[in-house]
Structure 1
Amino acid sequence: MSTQPAPGPQLSQQSNAAAIKAVPFGDSALMVSVFSDDSGERQEGSRKLRELLLDVRPQGLLDVVAGVDSVLVEFDNLAVSHGQLAQTIRLAVAGGFGDNDGAHAGMHFVIPMVVNQTFAPDLADVAAELGISPEAVLGHVEDSVLNINLLASAMAPMMGRVQFPGQVSRCKEPRTNVDPGSVMVAGNNAIIQPFPGPTGWKVIGRTPLVICDIRENPPTSYSPGDTVRFKVVPESEWERLEGRFLRTDSYTIEGAH
């Protein structure tokens, strides 16, 4: 399959739920998204689109790959054309997009985060970039209820939106290795590193919980559509919580649910 958008007209349709655009992407895919000036609405709409398409399973559908604010719909081009599939998506959206909220009930997670010089090497830089104090940065993170929009590489939860007063840039020089549990931000999104690996996101803390464990079935307890709140906890909590698998009851905040 080609990885570049193919020439062709943009296919769009206005429904009572949303305005959808479907752009041909190579010979056997459509890039589908929701028209909105609000990034949060685009992200939420893309999540619902993915759930709806996986539920309806239009003829020829092969896979639906989640992006930050769009979905890549891969299909068998011998079974259906770009235009036919786009029309099917329009009809599915018009008939059930607004009713699809129940496709995934959504769970809420409170994730403890320890902040110190070792665990939060970029916190001061993020504060300087936003023009606020490090404490204020953490306050915005704690006050935000984040939606898991998609699972990125290694099942890392990609979350938005942190209510920062601006956008956070990525590191000028990406790190070659970041410890698992690292809490990172870029733009107004947050992500947690499940396993050791490289990143260009800015690290502002670390959770002692294990967020992905291949010994568990399933290996994560979260999925797109779930919500997350972070809670900064003292370093003394690390030993008590270290290695505990993330579940909805791993850590609670009074009044958070």
Structure 2
Amino acid sequence: MTTQPPPAATLRRPPGVEGEPFGDSALMLRIADDNPEVRRAGARRLQDILLEVRPYGVLNLVAGAESLLVEFDCLAVSHGQLAQTVRLAVAGLGLQDAGPAAGAKDFVIPMVVSEEFSPDLPGVAEELGLSQEATLTALTSSMLTINLLAAAMAPMMAGVQFPGQVSRCAEPRTDVAPGSVMVAGTSAIIQPFPGPSGWKVIGRTPLTICDIHEEPATSYRPGDRVRFTVIAESRWAELEGTFLRPATPQESAPQQEGSQHGSEG
């Protein structure tokens, strides 16, 4: 008895890696795939591979949401030599089925939703064609992955299960409060310190996510997983200023304490 192979159209080839010179001493690496989730996961996996292999001449790795910038000593290695080393490393270790980052931690971040803390929620809901409640449910039912740490150690997270892309503010705010939970596209970010931002604010966490008096100043890193939960505004004083720590197994279990606009839970 013979087994017919599946049609070629049903076979998915592992994603490839594209390398582009970035100045005299850097190489920009991207994952060649149409799926943004594959590109983001592949970029994280690529960083792990290069940290493990540590190719000769590499000086630094700078992670982007869907890319990895590899800085190297141009007197020790060329763009072409480094690109070939990367291809060999990827061929040996593989990009696909990487799973969670090694040592990845889970975080559950409480947020309060109110007229003051969520100025852009009505507009985001309208843009997505959802109710405000459904918009929040899409956020809180999503398991997000921290792709990179942006300015001031802000965790930039991918994977919000919105039915569409959320646009950025037409005019960025000049002063966004720390703890603000913001969205753009299908990503989320938290503002660690007061400052400008063009992302749309839909909530605020009472927790302190970055504290220079802690060692390290943040308890999260790229590859960690985050889930948001809406809490009642009455709990703000209880939690305000508490430093963000990884969730316990009990806290990691999906649950929803409250709903929008500070409803009691």
User: How far is 1:180 from its partner?
Assistant: 0.6
- Please name the residue that 1:159 is paired with: 157
Tell whether 2:53 aligns with 1:56: yes
Do the aligned residues in 2 keep the contact of 1:111 with 1:251 (CA within 8 Å)?
Answer: no
Give, in whole Å, the separation in 2 of the partners of 1:46 and 1:117.
37
Do the aligned residues in 1 keep the contact of 2:118 with 2:203 (CA within 8 Å)?
Answer: yes
- Please name the residue that 1:28 is paired with: 25
Tell whether 2:227 aligns with 1:229: yes
Give, in whole Å, the separation in 1 of the partners of 2:106 and 2:254.
9
Q: Deviations over 1:187-240 (max 9, x none)?
A: 000000011110000000000011111111111111111100000000011111
Larger Rg: 2
- Structure 2 counterpart of 1:124, one-letter code: P
* TM-score using structure 2 length: 0.87
Bigger Cα displacement from structure 2, 114-123 vs 91-100: 91-100
Q: Deviations over 1:110-129 (max 9, x none)?
A: 00000001111100110111
User: How far is 1:52 from its partner?
Assistant: 1.6
3-state SS in 2 of match to 1:225: coil
Give, in whole Å, the separation in 1 of the partners of 2:60 and 2:106.
27
Do the aligned residues in 2 keep the contact of 1:52 with 1:100 (CA within 8 Å)?
Answer: no
RMSD: 1.9
Unaligned runs of 5+ in 1: 1-15
- Please name the residue that 1:12 is paired with: none
Task: Give aligned pairs, total.
Answer: 242
Q: Deviations over 1:90-125 (max 9, x none)?
A: 111111235865862211100000000111110011
Give, in whole Å, the separation in 2 of the partners of 1:92 and 1:27.
22
3-state SS in 2 of match to 1:231: strand
Alpha-carbon spacing, 1:79–1:230, altered in 2? closer, same or farther (3 Å): same
1:203 aligns with one of 186, 198, 201 = 201
3-state SS in 1 of match to 2:196: strand
Give, in whole Å, the separation in 2 of the partners of 1:62 and 1:102.
25
Give, in whole Å, the separation in 1 of the partners of 2:75 and 2:123.
52
* TM-score using structure 1 length: 0.89
- Please name the residue that 1:84 is paired with: 81
3-state SS in 2 of match to 1:249: coil
Please identify runs of 4+ aligned residues in structure 1 that moved more than 3 A.
Answer: 97-103, 249-254
Percent pairwise identity: 61
Give, in whole Å, the separation in 2 of the partners of 1:214 and 1:52.
30
Alpha-carbon spacing, 1:142–1:251, altered in 2? closer, same or farther (3 Å): farther
Give, in whole Å, the separation in 1 of the partners of 2:248 and 2:208.
10
Unaligned runs of 5+ in 2: 1-12, 256-265
1:142 aligns with one of 140, 143, 150 = 140
Give, in whole Å, the separation in 1 of the partners of 2:110 and 2:26.
40
User: How far is 1:59 from its partner?
Assistant: 1.0
Do the aligned residues in 1 keep the contact of 2:156 with 2:189 (CA within 8 Å)?
Answer: yes
- Please name the residue that 1:44 is paired with: 41
Bigger Cα displacement from structure 2, 94-103 vs 211-220: 94-103
